[in-house]
Structure 1
Amino acid sequence: MTQLQFNLNIEDLKDAVMNSDLGTVVKASVVLVLNSVMEKERDDYLQAGAYERTPNRQDSRNGYYDRGLLMSIGKITLKVPRTRNGEFSPSVFERYSRCDQAFVLSILEMVVNGVSTRKVNNIVQQICGENVSKSFVSSLSEKLDPIVNTWANRPLNTTYYPFIFADAMYIKVREHHRVVSKAVYIATAINEHNGREILGLKVDHSESYEAWQRFFQYLQSRGLQSPKLIISDAHKGLKKAIAQEFIGTTWQRCTVHFKRNIFNQLPKKEMDEVKIGLKRIFEAVKVEDARKFKEEFIQNFEKNPKLEKAIETLDDGFEDAIQYLNHPTKYHQFIRSTNSLERLNQEVRRRERVIRIFPHTQSAFRLIGAVLMDIAEVQSNKKIPIG
């Protein structure tokens, strides 16, 4: 075992402990130990002590240089010994490099979890006594790029996804010195093993048929097969892209959005009976029952001129909103709406709201991708509770 000798003035040490911040004393002690370890390593490397002449000497001393080291107690500055040929390298920095890596990962985790740069700076300042600039946080965040890209481009041909959910949300991005809105396209699914998965995302211009088509083609390029059902809202471009890219796939209109559209057409007062009739339609378990309840509803209320628009909306979108009834009953509550994807969007929005405006499109893809990866990891071992 290596023996290290320290010459300490007990009175000075006692005074430091009694009258100084204990953290400062601990740091000073660690600096003393590590500097001594490096000095001993240089002696072993040279095979000669200071001012010693030996036949086995490898090199000669060449002073010191300062280098910072981040540890759990904070940042310390060490005096690193050098040699003339520059080949000597102390083991201290290699041994404690994991502290730097843990620090970087901690900052990245704070960023992904929606902690603002200002708060990150406050935390790092308390740990290390140094400020962190936005550019520093940004440069660290770029380390996520290869990780997010690998996840976002993983193959989708290893399992079948019978039910897919699609939606878009809007964010603000700086582009050519202007702040513009961009659409983030997200697709999730229930796989053949009844597990939920996040299939992918894409940041594109405003929601349109062409943009949705590009998104679906991107998923297909990764091996996605046509599902049995795609659940979404009634965006015209989205509907057209589904029909174009997924031959044989049925479109399911989100029942939550659909009912909301109908309710918005209703008068504000004395509509309790009408609302009960509408809810009865969408509580049906069989397609035949839903159609029967819908016809009864129209017969009961079609003579009321105040309900003309609501009945028209119901009649136009009804068949698209009950396609989930053609599948086993155990899936109905999970595939009749995009509620699960809406909750996912809310989680992304919660963390995106801290940033408010992304500096560029890649930074948006990076952060939202990292958030989705984090959520996907939590979901990986969960299955929907099929009764």
Structure 2
Amino acid sequence: MTQLQFNLDIDVLKESVMNSNIEVVVKSAIVLVLNEFMEKERDEFLHVGTYERSDERRDYRNGYYERELTMSIGKLKLKVPRTRNGEFSTSVFEKYARCDQALVISMLEMVINGVSTRKVTNIVEQLCGENISKSFVSSLTQKLDPIVNDWAKRPLNTSYYPYLFVDAMYIKVREHHRVVSKAVYIATAITEKNKREILGLSVDHTENYESWSRFFQQLKSRGLQSPKLVISDAHQGLQKAIQREFIGTAWQRCNVHFKRNVIGKIPKKDSAEIRTMIKRIFEAVTIEDIRQFKDELMTRFGDETKYEKALAILDEGFEDTIQYMNYPEKVRCHIRSTNSLERLNQEVRRREKVVRVFPNTQSAFRLVGAVLMQYQESAYSVRKSLSK
């Protein structure tokens, strides 16, 4: 861009300094600079200065019009030069539009990071001296829709995901003037290159077989191939959906949830021995040992009625909970539970608590999707790489 040389009206600037506070001084100085800059831009466009005559003249001056420019210090009212044929256009607004964009992006980041719309309006007012309504902040967040939608619909056929993790969490959404509970379905995976990735999400009604089937069908429509193993909790509708949608895929019941279910049925008094033996089962390094330790526990405590419920749970869900032992040892600790997905859910919950009740389903999808995208770019890309 051509470098323009110009002089400022120092008397006007001096008056601003003497009679105003520092905020007004800064604004006045910037207004003077930008107005003078635009004036010189028009002279350059016309190829002639004020009151000059030249055969190279391209057009004639045609006064000014006022236009506001929002910057980090607030709104500035500028005098924008015009020409008769209207071909002249200043570069000021294009150049400084990035300030507006930075402000909008900052506001969106605050919302995604769990700052309420009310707090966002207060922060913007303190920074810019401008009143921003809650409805304005809410409308800005809609700019995330195409970004989140594109991410949620991206193709999944470029990689194979041998290990799939799925879980659901509940949120409150306003619907038909009522506050209802809805389920947020989230799927993550481990690639063949041992990288964690968030595959997608869906917001649906109550957690059941039909809703889980729809979620899996959505993932398959984007190119997801049947994984080797799906890791989840023991929700019956979820288990049925996995069996139907992923033929030939094994199911791993979350090891952590399973142990809690078993131990929860054990009396606290005089139970140190059985607790130790349960711990030994799931610390075994071979599938032969893990089965042997389980048989020893069943033989040792099988006749004690106080452990009847706990042993029934252990026996019924045991094989589904040790499926991870059929896979390479280096990956077992990562696929035996849904702990990684639980941590992701906690991050979503931390942001969701600020909202409390979403105004509609789309707003819930928007915020959760934005949080997942942010988490994918930061935590998963940097810290969640699995050691080979």
TM-score by length of 1: 0.93
1:91 aligns with 2:101: no
Q: Which residue matches 1:32? A: 32
Which stretch shifts more, 360-369 or 33-42? 33-42
Distance 2:45 2:224 in 1: 59
Q: Which residue matches 1:182? A: 182
Question: Following superposition of structure 1 onto structure 2, how do residues 89-238 of structure 1 map, counting pairs within 5 Å?
Answer: 89-238=89-238
Q: Which residue matches 2:344? A: 344
SS in 2 for 1:357: coil
Offset at residue 59 of structure 1 (A): 5.1
Q: Which residue matches 1:318? A: 318
SS in 1 for 2:81: strand
SS in 2 for 1:315: helix
Question: Are the aligned partners of 1:194 and 1:383 in contact in 2 as well (CA < 8 Å)?
Answer: no
1:7 aligns with 2:9: yes
Which stretch shifts more, 227-236 or 23-32? 23-32
Q: Which residue matches 1:270? A: 270
Q: Residues 45 and 331 (structure 1 numbering): CA distance in 2 closer, same or farther, change over 3 Å?
A: closer
SS in 2 for 1:2: coil
In structure 2, stretches of 5+ residues that fail to align are none
Offset at residue 223 of structure 1 (A): 0.9
Distance 2:236 2:345 in 1: 21
Question: Are the aligned partners of 1:167 and 1:233 in contact in 2 as well (CA < 8 Å)?
Answer: yes
In structure 1, stretches of 5+ residues that fail to align are none
Distance 1:375 1:356 in 2: 21
Q: Which residue matches 1:70? A: 70
Which stretch shifts more, 101-110 or 202-211? 101-110
Offset at residue 308 of structure 1 (A): 0.9
Deviations 1:307-337 (A, max 9, x none): 1111111111111011111111111111110
Distance 2:285 2:385 in 1: 19
SS in 2 for 1:96: helix
Distance 2:230 2:134 in 1: 41
Q: Which residue matches 1:257? A: 257
Counterpart code for 1:9: D
Counterpart code for 1:38: M
Q: Which residue matches 1:386? A: 387
Question: Are the aligned partners of 2:148 and 2:366 in contact in 1 as well (CA < 8 Å)?
Answer: yes
Q: Residues 181 and 40 (structure 1 numbering): CA distance in 2 closer, same or farther, change over 3 Å?
A: same
**RMSD of aligned residue pairs (Cα, Å):** 2.1
Distance 1:43 1:149 in 2: 46
Q: Which residue matches 2:329? A: 329
Q: Determine what percentage of the aligned residue pairs are the same residue.
A: 67
Offset at residue 74 of structure 1 (A): 3.3
Q: How many residues align?
A: 385
SS in 2 for 1:76: strand
Question: Are the aligned partners of 1:196 and 1:382 in contact in 2 as well (CA < 8 Å)?
Answer: no
Offset at residue 276 of structure 1 (A): 0.8
Question: Are the aligned partners of 2:16 and 2:28 in contact in 1 as well (CA < 8 Å)?
Answer: no
Offset at residue 203 of structure 1 (A): 0.7
Offset at residue 105 of structure 1 (A): 1.2
Question: Are the aligned partners of 2:144 and 2:366 in contact in 1 as well (CA < 8 Å)?
Answer: yes
Question: Are the aligned partners of 2:195 and 2:386 in contact in 1 as well (CA < 8 Å)?
Answer: no
Q: Residues 21 and 269 (structure 1 numbering): CA distance in 2 closer, same or farther, change over 3 Å?
A: farther
Counterpart code for 2:150: T
Q: Which residue matches 2:241? A: 241
Question: Are the aligned partners of 1:195 and 1:382 in contact in 2 as well (CA < 8 Å)?
Answer: no
Distance 1:112 1:211 in 2: 26
Deviations 1:331-366 (A, max 9, x none): 111111000000000011111111111111111111
Counterpart code for 2:279: K
SS in 1 for 2:88: coil
Q: Which residue matches 1:305? A: 305
Distance 2:348 2:375 in 1: 9
Distance 1:2 1:253 in 2: 70
Distance 1:259 1:383 in 2: 25
Question: Are the aligned partners of 2:165 and 2:338 in contact in 1 as well (CA < 8 Å)?
Answer: yes
Distance 1:373 1:16 in 2: 47
Question: Are the aligned partners of 2:117 and 2:138 in contact in 1 as well (CA < 8 Å)?
Answer: no
Deviations 1:70-100 (A, max 9, x none): 2243332212233444443222111111111
Deviations 1:251-294 (A, max 9, x none): 00001110111111112322221211111111112122111111
Distance 1:155 1:257 in 2: 32
Distance 1:135 1:73 in 2: 22
Question: Are the aligned partners of 1:209 and 1:237 in contact in 2 as well (CA < 8 Å)?
Answer: yes
Offset at residue 225 of structure 1 (A): 0.8
